[in-house]
């Protein structure tokens, strides 16, 4: 049983979350059934792609124990606060909040689920997000506490599941899609990452992890197939140096594919549409 004081605190927390969410037109969660499929790479490039298209966008790094968004966006400063509100960092026009900007790089984050969920609630309600067209939450792999917290509290308009064409990845992404449906997320899209490698010498496409598994799975499960992204060495190098590929080189195959996904998200989004206010209870 919750005490009256605990109930009051939950009510205050939910009120903060409601106020924050009602200033954000589109909330997107990006997750995957397993790690190592390029989920964060997709998240940061989609956010930057939305900025290039003239939208306002932010990224909430919800991978508490493995936060990599600041590194891949080139953010090195610490988070600051004002009037007990967290002020997002800004890089290339993208608003960013991550635990990586609050703890030393070498410090292990050994937190149990309830503490991680509490932090994520704060990252929604206690952050001065302002008015955003899009907020992208980069979730950890799997279907654990952080994913449940984000899909429950963030009330996302869209879920983007990232997979590779490899069968073992598709098994896990199938579970992720099933979870998104169970959480009643209105729009669900699938991105197939690492979909072939163009040989730098001969130019032929090497299908390291297979081909077409993502589009087949999207069709079978009745979700939107957003597109395929090739393996790209330049993208990996750029991410290590803190530069999203859509900003560093807009002529690459992966940049073009990313921007097509951005256009699909724009077509699905509700920017400029009057919709009911969010209410978290």
| Residues paired with residue 86 on neighbouring β-strands, in sequence order | 81, 127
- Rounded to whole angstroms, the Cα distance separating 88 from 128 reads 7
**Residue 102 token pair:** 């609050």
CATH architecture, range 27-268: 3-Layer(aba) Sandwich (3.40)
Q: 10 Å Cβ neighbour count for 24? A: 22
pLDDT of 272 reads 54
Residue ranges of alpha helices (H) inside 1-109 are 4-21, 39-52, 69-73
Domains of the chain: which residue ranges?
27-268
Query: H-helix or E-strand containing 278?
Result: none
pLDDT of 99 reads 94
CB 138 within 8 A of CB 146: no
Q: What is the pTM of this model?
A: 0.91
Query: H-helix or E-strand containing 137?
Result: strand 132-138
pLDDT of 276 reads 55
pLDDT per position in the chain (281 positions), as tens?
788 888 888 898 889 999 999 999 999 999 988 888 999 999 999 999 999 999 999 999 999 888 999 999 999 888 999 998 999 999 999 999 999 998 877 788 888 888 888 899 999 999 999 999 999 999 988 878 888 988 999 999 999 999 999 888 999 999 999 999 999 999 999 999 988 766 667 766 766 676 788 999 999 999 999 999 998 888 889 899 999 999 999 999 999 999 999 999 999 886 655 555 555 65
Nearest Cα residue to 224 out of 147, 158, 270, 179: 158
**Residue 81 token pair:** 């606060």
pLDDT of 103 reads 84
> Which positions ≥6 away from 179 have C-beta within 8 Å?
143, 147, 151
- Rounded to whole angstroms, the Cα distance separating 271 from 134 reads 9
Q: Write the secondary structure of 197-218 as one string of H (helix), E (strand) and C (coil).
A: EECCCCCCEECCCCCCHHHHHH
């Amino acid at each position: 049983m919750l005490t009256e004081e605990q109930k009051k605190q939950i009510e205050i927390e939910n009120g903060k979350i409601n106020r924050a969410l009602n200033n954000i037109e589109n909330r997107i969660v990006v997750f995957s059934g397993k790690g190592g499929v390029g989920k964060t790479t997709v998240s940061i490039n989609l956010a930057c792609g939305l900025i290039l298209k003239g939208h306002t966008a932010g990224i909430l790094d919800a991978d508490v124990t493995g936060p990599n968004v600041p590194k891949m966006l080139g953010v090195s400063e610490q988070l600051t606060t004002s009037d007990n509100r967290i002020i997002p960092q800004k890089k290339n026009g993208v608003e960013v909040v991550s635990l990586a900007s609050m703890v030393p790089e070498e410090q292990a984050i050994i937190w149990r689920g309830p503490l991680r969920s509490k932090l994520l609630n704060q990252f929604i309600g206690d952050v001065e997000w302002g008015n955003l067209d899009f907020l992208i939450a980069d979730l950890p792999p799997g279907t654990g506490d952080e994913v449940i917290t984000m899909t429950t509290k963030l009330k996302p308009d869209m879920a983007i599941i990232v997979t590779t064409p490899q069968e073992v990845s598709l098994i896990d992404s199938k579970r992720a899609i099933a979870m998104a449906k169970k959480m009643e997320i209105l729009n669900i899209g699938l991105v197939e990452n690492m979909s072939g490698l163009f040989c730098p010498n001969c130019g032929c496409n090497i299908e390291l992890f297979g081909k077409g598994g993502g589009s087949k799975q999207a069709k079978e499960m009745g979700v939107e197939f957003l597109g395929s992204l090739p393996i790209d060495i330049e993208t990996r190098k750029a991410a290590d140096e803190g530069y999203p590929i859509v900003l560093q080189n807009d002529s690459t195959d992966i940049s073009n594919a990313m921007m097509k996904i951005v256009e699909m998200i724009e077509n699905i989004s509700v920017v400029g549409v009057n919709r009911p206010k969010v209410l978290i209870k």
